[in-house]
Structure 1
Amino acid sequence: MATATQPNSPEKKDDTVEAPGTPAASGNVVIPDTNAAVALPTHSPAAAVDPDDLVDTQKTPTLMEKVQEFRARHEMWEMALFFFGGFIYDVVSLSRIDDTLTLVQSFAYLLILTGLLLLEQRFPEGTEPPRLLSKVWRWREEAVHFLFGSLLSVFMLLLFKATSGFTPYLFVVGLFALLVANELPRFRQVGPVIRVVLLSLCVTLYFACLLPVVIGRMGFWVFLLAVTLGSANVFGLMRLIQRWRPDVEFLIRNVAIPGFGVQAALLVLYLLGVIPPLPVAVQFADIYHKVERVSPGVYQLSSVDDSVWFKPWTWFGPDFAMQPGDKPYYFFRIFAPKGFAPYKVRVRWYYDHPDKGWTTYGNGFMANVSSNGTDGGYRYYATTSNLKPGAWRVVLETEDGHEIHRINFSVAPDARTEPRQYKLEYSTLKELKPLSQEDYEKTRKSAAVKPGEPSKPTGGTTPAPAPTPGSVGTEPGETAPTAEGTAQ
C-alpha cells in the first residue's frame, strides 16, 4: 500500500506554540528549558479568553459564618459578657434562700450541667454530635460557663449574706476566683477535671442550702448529709461515664480525684469554720446607747453622735461616747426560713486589752431565737456593763461556734457637760433598717387614717403622743426578749 504525503511537510504536526523570544528548533540543537510555554485552548487557536475567567472568585459568607468570625475576633469580650451576664442576672433576681423558684431554677441548672458533661464524654471533640442537638451543639461551651457562673454567683451571694469576719470571707473570695477561672481559656483546655470540680462543688452547696430549709434545722450533721449527696453525684458520674470510656485510669484521674477531693475539702473547711452557716443571716446590726421597746413590734434605738459638722477633726471620733453608767447595746435582726425550728445564737464581747490583746468576757450571752419567716427576721439585743475606753468587738455566732456576724467599735470618754442630744431611730417589723424619727412619725400618721376615710386636718389639732419609753408589748410572729445579754 502506498501512502501519499505532502512534499516538504513533516510526518507529525506539532500543535504547541512556542513562547515569544524562543528560537526555533533546528537540527539537533537542544533548547534550554528556561522559559515556560503558554498553553492555549486546542479547540480554536483564535478563540478569545474571558477576563473574568482569570480572576479567582470567593464564596459569599453566610450570616452564621460572619457571626462565628466576629466571635473569634472578640473572644475575650464574649467571655466577659457571659460571665457578668450570669452574675448580674442573679444579683437582680436572687431572692430569699427559701424561695421556691430559686431552688427549682438552681436544680434545673444542675441537671442541665450534668447532662452536658455526660454528653461531652459520650460525643468527644471530632465526633458527630447527637442529632437533636446538632443545631445548638456549637453553643454548649457558652451554656456550660453561663450556668456555672450563675450557680456560683448564687451561692456566693447567699454565703456573703450569712458570713462575717476574715476567715469565712476567704471561702467567698475562693468562689469568686472560681468564677473568674471559669472564663479563662486555659482552664477550658484542661478538660473535664475543672468541670467535675465545679459540678461537685455546686451540687454540695445546693444541698447545703436546700436541706436546712426542708428539714428546718442546721448543724454539722445537716452539712454532712449535703456532702454525702454530693459524693453520691460524683459516684453516679463515674458509673455513667464508664459505659462509654471503660478506662479506669481516666476515671480516677479526671472524675474520682477532683470530685471526691472537693467533698473532702468542703468537710474540712466547715469544721474549721471557714464555710459560714446556712440558712441564717443577719439582716441588720449596730451599736446603740439605749434600746427600748416602746410599742408592740417597735424598738426605739438611741445613739449619741459626738461629731460636729463644722469641725472636721471630730468626724472620725469614737463610735461610742461613754459617760458614767453607759452600756453599749448590740441590736440585731436575724433571718431564718419559715418553719425553721427555734435555735440558739451566742453574743460574745471582746476587748482589745493593751497587754493581753483581744480578750473575751465569760462565755457570752446565749439567746433563744425563733423564726417568724418574715423578710425582716427576728430582732434581739444584748448588752454589757463592763465598759472601758478602747477598741471593742461584738461577735454573733451559732451554738456550735460558727460566726454569723461581727462589728467593731471604739469607746472614748465623753467630756461634754451639756445635756446629751440623742439621735432616735425606730425599728419596725416590716422595715429592715431603722427609720428616722421623722419617717416613723409619718408612718404612724398614715396608719392612723383608716382606708376609705379622708385624713383629718392637722391644723388646730393635738399631735399624736410619742411612744412611751419602757412600755413592752408583743407582736404576732415576734416575742419580746426574755433578758438582756450580759457578759460579766
Structure 2
Amino acid sequence: MNSGFRFSHQISRVQSQYRTNERLFGVLFFVAGIVWDALTLRRIDNLVDNAILVGYLVLLTGIVVASILVRSDKDGRLARVEPWLAPVIQFLLGALLSAFVIFYAQSIAWVTHLGFWLILVLGMIANEFLHRRFSSLTSLLIFLMLSSTSMLAWLYPVLAGHMAPVLFRAAIASGLVLSLLLLVLGIRKKQFSWGRLGSPPLWYLLGCAILLDVGYRQNWIPPVPLSVEAGGVYQQVVRDGDAFELEYKTRHRGLLAPKYARQYYHTPGEPVYAFTSVFAPTDLKERIFHVWQRQDETSEKWVTTDRIGYDLTGGRDDGFRGMTFKQNISEGDWRIIVETSNGKTVSRIPFTVTFLNQNDVYWTRTLRK
C-alpha cells in the first residue's frame, strides 16, 4: 500500500510540475523532437523513413475524418474519443513538418528557397505552440493538403526515377483531391456551409494549390529530392580511382588554409573547374547543369556566359560527382548556379576571381572527394 501510495504521489508531483511549467516543457519537447528527427532520419529515399512518414499521413487523414465525425455526433457516442484527437493531430503534424523541415533544408539554395522553408518552420512552430488556434477543421484540411503535397513532391520522383514538372503538379493534385474528399464529407455532415459561391474552405484549398504551382514555376520551392553535398571552383580536378583530387590556390599556409574559399586566384590562360557532388535517390536519373554567371560591374546584373551539363545517376550516399570547366574567365564576381534540366535551382556557388601576377606568393592545396 505504501509503495503504491508513494508511486501515485510521485505521479501527482510530476503532473503538477508539468502544469506549472507547461510552456517550458513544450519548448523542451519541441527541441528534442527536432534533434531526434535530425539524428534518426536518414536518406530522403530510405524505405523505412518514407514508410513511417506515409503511415503518419494516413493516420492524420484518419484522425481528420474522426474529427469530422465527432463534431457531427449529436448522440455523444464518440465523446470519449474527442479528448484524444487534438494531441494526436499535434503529434502527427509535428512529426511530418519536422521531417519536411529537415529534408527540404538539404535541398535549399538559401537565397532562392528560404521563403518556402521558413513557411515550413513557421507551420511547425504554430502546430507546436499555437495548436489550439489552428484546430479548426478548415485549418486541418489546409495542413493536410500542404503535408501530403510536400511529401509526394519527393516520393513521386523517387518512384518514377526522374524529375519533371508534371510530377510536382501531380503531388499538388493528389493533396488537393485528398483534402476535397474530406471537405465533401464535412459538408455532408454539416460541418461546412455551402452557398452560391461554394464553401470557404474550398477556396482556401484552391488558393493553396495555385500558390504551390506558382511557387514551383517561380523556383521558390526546393527541387527535392536533389541536394548538393559539396561544391566549389578549383584550378584542377583529376580523377584518382574512386576519388577526385581538387586543387586550389590560397594565400594562407598551413592550418590557416581554408578547404574552400570564395576568393579564386586565377592564372590567366588556365581553365577554371566547377565541381559539385549532388545527392539523388537510387536509380534517379537527371541532367545537371552548371550555369556560369558574371556580375556586370555597371548594371550589377548577372549575365550568363555558359550553361554546361552532365548526366547524374543517383544512389551514392555522398552524392554523384561531376564537373564542368570554363577556359576564359575575367576578374570580378562570379557565381555558378547548379540547376536541373528544367531550370530548377539546386544550389549556388559564389566566388570572386582575382588574377595572380608573377610576383604573387600563393600555396597550392589539394582536397580529395
Contact 1:350–1:394 (8 Å) recurs in 2: yes
| C-alpha contact 2:158 2:281 (8 A) present in aligned 1 | yes
Please tell me whether the aligned partners of residues 348 and 360 of structure 1 are also in contact (alpha carbons under 8 angstroms): no
Matched residue, 1:338: 282
Distance 1:253 1:71 in 2: 41
Among residues 59, 66, 91, which one is paired with 1:146 in the alignment? 91
Corresponding residue SS for 1:364: strand
Q: How does 1:311-460 map to 2 (within 5 A)?
A: 319-340=263-284, 342-371=285-314, 373-415=315-357, 417=359, 421-427=363-369
Maintained 8 Å contact 2:142/2:179 = no
TM-score by length of 1: 0.66
For 1:262, which of 196, 208, 213 is the aligned residue?
A: 208
Change (3 A) 1:254 1:110: farther
Pairs within 5 Å for 1:116-135:
116-124=63-71, 128=76, 130=78
SS in 2 for 1:395: strand
Cα gap change, 1:310/1:299 in structure 2, threshold over 3 Å: closer, same or farther? closer
Of Structure 1 and Structure 2, the greater helix share is in 2
Match of 1:212 among 157, 164, 170: 157
Please tell me whether residue 86 in structure 1 is matched to residue 30 in structure 2: no
Which residue does 2:3 correspond to in 1? none
User: What aligned pairs does 1:15-34 form with structure 2 within 5 A after superposition?
Assistant: none
Please say if residues 187 and 194 of structure 1, whose CA atoms lie closer than 8 Å, have aligned partners that are also in contact: no
Residues 219-255 of structure 1: per-residue CA shift (max 9 Å, x gap): 1111111111111101221232234326434996564
Check conservation: 2:72, 2:190, Cα contact below 8 A. no
Question: Do 1:83 and 1:146's aligned partners in 2 also have CA atoms closer than 8 Å?
Answer: no
Change (3 A) 1:261 1:207: same
Q: CA deviation at 1:94?
A: 1.1
Structure 1 position 309, deviation (Å) = 7.2
- What is the CA-CA distance between 1:210 and the residue it aligns to? 0.9
Distance change >3 Å, CA 166–CA 270, structure 1 → 2: same
Residues 124 and 311 (structure 1), Cα distance of their counterparts in 2 relative to 1, 3 Å cut: closer
Q: CA deviation at 1:67?
A: 5.8
Q: Which has the higher strand share?
A: 2
Q: Could you tell me the TM-score, scaled by structure 2's length?
A: 0.86
- Using the alignment, how far apart are the partners of 1:301 and 1:317 within structure 2? 13
Superposed CA deviations along residues 26-62 of structure 1, whole A, max 9, x for unmatched, are xxxxxxxxxxxxxxxxxxxxxxxxxxxxxxxxxxx98
| 1:173 alignment partner in structure 2 | 118
Give identity over the alignment, percent. 23
What code does the residue aligned with 1:345 have? I
- Aligned pair 1:301/2:246, yes or no? yes
Structure 2: tracts of 5 or more residues without a match: 1-7
Counterpart AA for 1:262 = C
Tell me, what secondary structure is at the counterpart of 2:295?
Answer: strand
Find 1:73's aligned residue among 8, 15, 20. 20
1:354 counterpart SS class: coil
Q: Helix, strand or coil: the match of 1:338?
A: coil
C-alpha distance in 2 between matches for 1:195 and 1:82: 22
1:192 to 108, 112, 137: 137
1:98 is matched with which residue?
A: 45
1:228-243 aligned at under 5 Å gives the runs 228-243=173-188
Q: Which amino acid aligns with 1:169?
A: L
Q: Which has the larger radius of gyration?
A: 1
Give unmatched runs, 5+ long, in structure 1.
1-60, 428-488
Structure 1 pair 252–84 and aligned structure 2 pair: CA distance change class (3 A): farther
Q: CA deviation at 1:415?
A: 3.7
Distance 1:68 1:145, change over 3 A: same
Q: Which residue of 1 aligns with 2:5?
A: none
TM-superposed deviation, 1:273: 0.9
Distance of aligned partners of 1:415 and 1:336 in 2 relative to their CA distance in 1, 3 Å threshold: same
Verify the 8 A CA contact 2:309 2:324 in the aligned structure 1: no
Provide the aligned length of Structure 1 versus Structure 2: 359
Q: 1:78 to 1:414 in 2, by over 3 A?
A: same
Map of 2:232 onto structure 1: 286
| Contact 1:234–1:255 (CA under 8 A) maintained in structure 2 | no
Does the residue aligned with 1:174 lie in a helix, a strand or coil?
Answer: helix
- Deviation, 1:174, is 1.3
Task: State the distance in 2 between where 1:317 and 1:406 align.
Answer: 14
User: Which residue is 1:271 aligned to?
Assistant: 217
Shift of the 343–413 alpha-carbon distance from structure 1 to 2, 3 Å rule, reads: same
1:386 match: secondary structure: coil
Greater relative contact order (Cα < 8 A, sep 6+): 2
- Letter of the structure 2 residue corresponding to residue 329 of structure 1: Y
Secondary structure of the residue that 2:128 maps to in structure 1? coil
